[in-house]
Structure 1
Amino acid sequence: MSIQDIISTLRRRWRFELVVLIAAVVAIAVYLYVQVPVYSATTRVYISFSGEGDAADGSVDGTGASESATSGLIGGSSFQYTPSEYVNQQLSLIPALVTTPAVLDGAADQLGLPSSQGLEESLSAAVSDGYFVTITAMDEHAQHAADIANAVASSLASQLASPNRSDTNLYIPSHLRLSIVNKAVAEKTPSSPNTKAIIGVGGLAACALACFAGIVRELCDNRIRRASEVQQLLHAPLLGAVPKSSSFQPGVPVIIRSSDTLEAEMIRRIASNLTFVVPDRTELSNVFVIASYGPGEGKTTLSIELAAAFAEQGRKVLLIGADFRHPSIAQRLGLADEVGLSHLLTGQVDIRSAARQYWKPGFHVLPAGRRVANPGILINSQSMRTLLHEVSRQYEWVIVDAEPMTVANDAAVFAKEGAKLVLVAGRGLSDRSQLRDMDREFEIINVQPVGVIWNFADQDRGAVKTHDKYYGGTKRRSGNEREAHPEIGPIPETRNGPTVAPDDQLAAGALTGRP
């Protein structure tokens, strides 16, 4: 995954990342709320040498030692130390002495506590620079923490200066003395939790977690979210992208109802691109089969819109509803669906009775008709093949609304006959494995789609503003509103949309469609 892919993923998954970020922030807030504030207080003491002490404490091996006034040395002839050497040697023992029973019991007596139990866990000591030692106490109450630190320092000083040695303080060096330099005072702010540090580090961690979660979700999501993925999987060019918009509603096509909107312009662009993929006129090269991998990806809507876009140019267009399992073109356009393609192919009617004129004199619609038990028989019939070749000669453009590939491979049958296959991919509706399987099937049967239409794309607000600005800020229309175009004339408003009349303009030599 490249840097550009990561940035695109983060932008695309911002809603999910925002949820993760909010959850992390709430977790940090709850953590801070349940934490009990702990205050710390520190007493700073100075360790020095004292000539008054036990003679047995004069050397490291326990041999007798006595102070020599003339030489300033301690110990016998084999082990002799200067005062500074002695302090340096014993200084590291002081932090450990802070938590000894002799010191803690003395501190407990000063604090008026029944015992020293629990004091050790709240204490810490460390040697700082020179001969200084810091004794730190922690407690939920600031004043109590200061009292503990001062009491422990005082108790330690007493133990070091005590001339008496017993089993409890025998290990305490007798030649050291402790002076309190800075007494502990009650702090106003707690030392734990460190709210600022937790918020800062936690905030950065929450942002990183949100970004990581967005990338992981993208990697785990097998749905197609980008048009480039469809192009790579199906090895077909992108004919155009249609934004997700409420303008595409059952009824009058947006090309007719709101002809100056961005949605209508996108449909026109796709229709124009379709003419470029078939520069040379061959058998059935003007027949476009519109299909998708699964239902709900918008193939029927785009079939109607593309047919209307070609008719808008004054071309002679035939829209065929070949989705026998789920016929919907007639219902969407407000046409009667008593007869249609199924009746034509079974010889019950001729094409004059099955087809209907819609909107323009050259725009004809052949709905699917009634549902049939085995549509594959009709699709693979000689009557269907003959019909395709006949209408290909009679019309400039033929648009066929086929069934989804998951339901049947009717679209591939049309493509093998010579029609041009156009696939509609709905954003977030198909997954990568499904498109790979469909591409393998096309490769096996030697069918290559001429292009892909990316449907339900994210609305580009910048493109909308540019379009509206270019057209002078024209109000974007929806519903049944329509601007009258002088070159086509107003469409009579009826409950079912544009006026629909039986077609009387088809060629006299049209098929009867008998199998």
Structure 2
Amino acid sequence: MTVLDLLIAVRKHVITAAITFVVVVAAVTGYTFTRTPMYTASAQLLATYKSSSAAQDTNAAGQLNSGASYIKSQIATYPELVKTEAVLQPVIADLGLNTTVSALATQVTASNPTDTMLVEISVEDADPKSASNIANSVADSLTKQITATLTSDEGEKIVSPVNLTKVQQAYVPASPSSPNKKLNIAAAVAGGLILGVIAALIKDLLDRRVRQASDVTAIVPDTPILGTFSRSDMFTDKAPTIISHPVAREAEEIRRLRTNLMFSLPETNLSNVIVVTSAGQSEGKTTTSVNLATAFAETGSSVLLIDADVRNPSVSGHLGIEGNVGLTQLLTNQLSSQDAIQRYWKPNFHVLPAGKQSMNPSIMLNSRAMKSLIAQVAGHYDHVIIDTAPMHVANDAAVFAKEGGELLLVVGLGVTEKKELRTTAQELTTLEIKPAGISLNFAEAEKQKDDYYYYYGSDEKDSKGSKDSKGDKAGKDKKH
């Protein structure tokens, strides 16, 4: 994953990243400002070695070296010795503290700075005065414990060779040591940003559906996106959008796809045959087929729309025409082309519905009769639009494309599953089929465009008449 991929993931799930950021910052800030301020006071002790006068006179250098080594070995134990009952119990008694040794031990810390003979004792408490008193008392108690004269089992008195001197007493702290509000808030902001990016990335990785154009181009590279249909109820009308709403933004989106597709089609045999399919169901391939065919017919070109999705035909339902008679009867020689093909909207716009399924669809669509039909209609019409089954249902579209037709892949944003689209792309690559382009459905419309087309459409609406029985409008021949 590149930095660009990461930025795209954050942009796609910016709300998730923002919510994560706000939650982290709010939680840390709330925790910081609700904590009881704590004060830390510190005292320092210096450890020195006691030596006899006689020893100093006879071997001063050796005595000093041996003393330094002894102190280094002993001073490393003092940070733990500070937390023992022998040191802390006298402090509790001396200051009259209402606490226990174990509880007081959590407030006290001791350290021996590297390469020094110093012992630093720090105490944290909610009361600054108590913090300094306890730190000084612990320092005194440790000094007494270390320098105390011990008695051996034989009754001999043993004088400690270590001497502790308080070189820095603990003073009352002027400001709390914790919480560090500035540091905590800065850490919250940094942590919130990092966790927000991580949350957006995880959500993107777990998202099984295609959400925007970058998802499509990542799965199907080197294939241009020729058109984008916005999410609109206009596409669910019984009549194609160009007929029912000719000056709407949605109609211009269809015309844009038509124009881009015309410029991208190669000058080859059967290049005027456009095979429309999708990876999965409910992605709007039939809606795209119907509206694209209407857009071509609008220009005056002769168009034939074929419903080759015989397993689940829906072209007739989109157009509000009879669909029980059509392709299946034509291929099985039950009807002639004149009886199977219907005229719709304009004399140059013809539709061949799927008809009733009477045999195995794969066998029928791969038959010589089907290939012969495509060759004939390709020579008779300017444009032939074939609506086929989704690729995860059957690879009929791939069969038509291998025969020379140009493949238009429809992708429904928020509907298409990445796994299905990836499988479709791999299958097309294996079959050496390069789609002519991609059409995106269910995109979110831009508000600025809506305002423009609303204003433009309101003027044109006044100049139009009312709809006739077929959904057409008076004045439909007006050029746009």
Range into which the TM-score falls when normalised by the shorter chain: 0.7 to 0.9
TM-superposed deviation, 1:17 = 3.1
In the TM superposition, residue 216 of structure 1 has moved relative to its aligned partner by: 5.2
C-alpha displacement at 1:455, in angstroms? 1.1
Give yes or no for contact 1:41–1:145 (8 Å, CA) kept in 2.
yes
Q: 2:478 aligns to what?
A: none
Encode CA deviations 1:139-194: one digit per residue, 9 max, x unaligned: 4555543442233245457678x9x7345996656866547x655437664x3444
The alpha carbon displacement at 1:302 in A equals 0.6
2:331 corresponds to: 345
**Residue 317 of structure 1: how far off its partner (Å):** 1.7
Give the alignment partner of residue 437 of structure 2, picking from 431, 452, 458: 452
- Alignment partner of 1:259 is 2:246: yes
Seen in structure 2, the aligned counterparts of structure 1 residues 482 and 300 have a Cα distance that, compared at 3 Å, is farther
Aligned residue for 2:138?
152
Give secondary structure in 2 for the equivalent of 1:330.
helix
**1:287–1:171: structure 2 CA closer, same or farther, 3 Å change rule?**
farther
Tell me if structure 2 keeps the 8 A contact 1:291–1:423.
Answer: yes
Shift of 1:309: 0.8
1:77 and 2:58 are equivalent in the alignment: yes
- The one of 108, 113, 138 equivalent to 2:92 is 108
SS in 2 for 1:475: helix
Is 1:65 matched up with 2:43? no
**Which moved further from structure 2: 332-341 or 210-219?**
210-219
How far the C-alpha of 1:452 sits from its partner, in A, is: 2.1
Contact 2:231 2:445 in 1 (8 A): no
Please say if 1:426 is aligned against 2:417.
Answer: no
- Do the aligned partners of 2:232 and 2:442 also contact (CA within 8 Å) in 1? no
**Structure 1 Cα separation of the partners of residues 216 and 302 of structure 2:** 31
One-letter amino acid of the counterpart of residue 65, structure 1? S
User: Is contact 1:231–1:452 with CA below 8 Å preserved after alignment?
Assistant: no
Q: Which moved more, 1:284-293 or 1:433-442?
A: 433-442
CA 1:367/1:153 → structure 2, altered by over 3 Å: closer, same or farther? same
Q: Please state whether the residue corresponding to 1:249 is helix, strand or coil.
A: helix
The runs of 5 or more residues in structure 2 that have no matched partner are: 474-480
Q: Secondary structure of the equivalent of 1:79? A: helix
User: Equivalents in 2 of 1:45, 1:388: separation in Å?
Assistant: 96
Task: Report if the CA contact (8 A) 1:277-1:450 is conserved.
Answer: no
How far apart are residue 257 of structure 1 and its match? 3.2
Match of 2:197 in 1: 211
Offset, 1:323: 1.1
Tell me, in whole angstroms, the C-alpha distance in 2 between the residues paired with 1:334 and 1:241.
25
RMSD between superposed Cα atoms in Å: 4.6
- Taking a change above 3 Å as real, the CA distance of residues 23 and 114 of structure 1, as seen in their structure-2 partners, is closer
Partner of 1:39: 38
Write 1 or 2 for the structure with the bigger share of helix: 2
Cα offset for 1:343? Answer: 3.5
Q: Pairwise mapping of residues 316-465 of structure 1 onto structure 2 (< 5 A)?
A: 316-427=302-413, 429-430=415-416, 434-435=420-421, 437-439=423-425, 441-442=427-428, 448-456=433-441, 458-459=443-444, 461=446, 465=448
SS at match of 1:319: strand
- Unaligned stretches of 5+ residues in structure 1: 50-56, 67-73, 500-515
Q: 3-state DSSP class of the match of 1:212?
A: helix
2:259 pairs with 1:275: no
Q: Deviations over 1:285-340 (max 9, x none)?
A: 32212112221222101101101111221222222212111111221222233433
Give, as a single letter, the amino acid of the residue that structure 2 aligns with 1:12: K
**Cα displacement (A) at 1:39:** 2.5
Sort the Cα spacing of 1:371 and 1:17 in 2 relative to 1 into closer, same or farther, 3 A: farther
**Structure-2 separation of matches of 1:372 and 1:31:** 71
Letter in 2 for 1:149: A
CA distance in 1, matches of 2:367, 2:116: 102
Alignment match of 1:306 (pick from 289, 292, 295): 292
Distance apart, 1:240 and its partner CA: 1.0
TM-score, length-normalised on structure 2? 0.76
For the residues of structure 1 that align with 2:205 and 2:98, how far apart are their CA atoms?
Answer: 62
2:103 pairs with 1:124: no
Q: Is the 1:259–1:483 Cα contact (8 Å) retained in structure 2?
A: no
Does the 8 Å contact 1:227/1:454 carry over to 2? Answer: no
Letter aligned with residue 9 of structure 2: T
Name the CA distance, whole Å, in 2 between partners of 1:353 and 1:482. Answer: 42
User: Is the alpha carbon distance of 1:213 and 1:394 closer, same or farther for their aligned partners in structure 2, counting shifts above 3 Å?
Assistant: same
Amino acid at match of 2:90: G
CA–CA separation in structure 1 for the residues paired with 2:441 and 2:53: 94
Contact persistence 1:42–1:134 (CA under 8 A)? no
Contact 1:257 1:483 in 2 (8 A): no
Q: For 1:378 and 1:137, how far apart are their aligned partners in 2? A: 88
Q: 1:288 and 1:482, CA in 2 relative to 1: closer, same or farther beyond 3 A?
A: farther
Residue of structure 2 in register with 1:242 after alignment: 228
Partner SS state of residue 78, structure 1: helix
Distance of 2:329 and 2:351 partners within structure 1: 14
Change (3 A) 1:418 1:272: same
Could you say if the C-alpha distance between residues 285 and 326 of structure 1 is closer, same or farther in structure 2, counting changes exceeding 3 Å?
A: same
* Cα contact 2:150–2:158 (8 A) shared by 1: yes
Query: Aligned partners of 2:100 and 2:385: how far apart in 1?
Result: 92
Write the distance in 1 (CA, Å) between the matches of 2:380 and 2:354: 19
Give the C-alpha shift of residue 409 in structure 1.
Answer: 2.2
1:262 positional shift: 3.8
Q: Which of 170, 185, 204 is matched with 2:172 structurally? A: 185
Identity of aligned residues (%): 33
> Which letter does structure 1 place at the counterpart of 2:53?
A
Q: Cα gap change, 1:374/1:141 in structure 2, threshold over 3 Å: closer, same or farther?
A: farther
* Kept after mapping to 2: 8 A contact 1:244/1:458: yes
1:403–1:392 distance in 2 versus 1, CA, 3 Å: same
Choose which of 160, 185, 190 in structure 2 pairs with 1:199: 185
Deviation of 1:125 after TM superposition, in Å, equals: 4.0
Corresponding residue of 1:165: 149
Distance apart, 1:485 and its partner CA: 9.6
Structure number with bigger Rg: 1
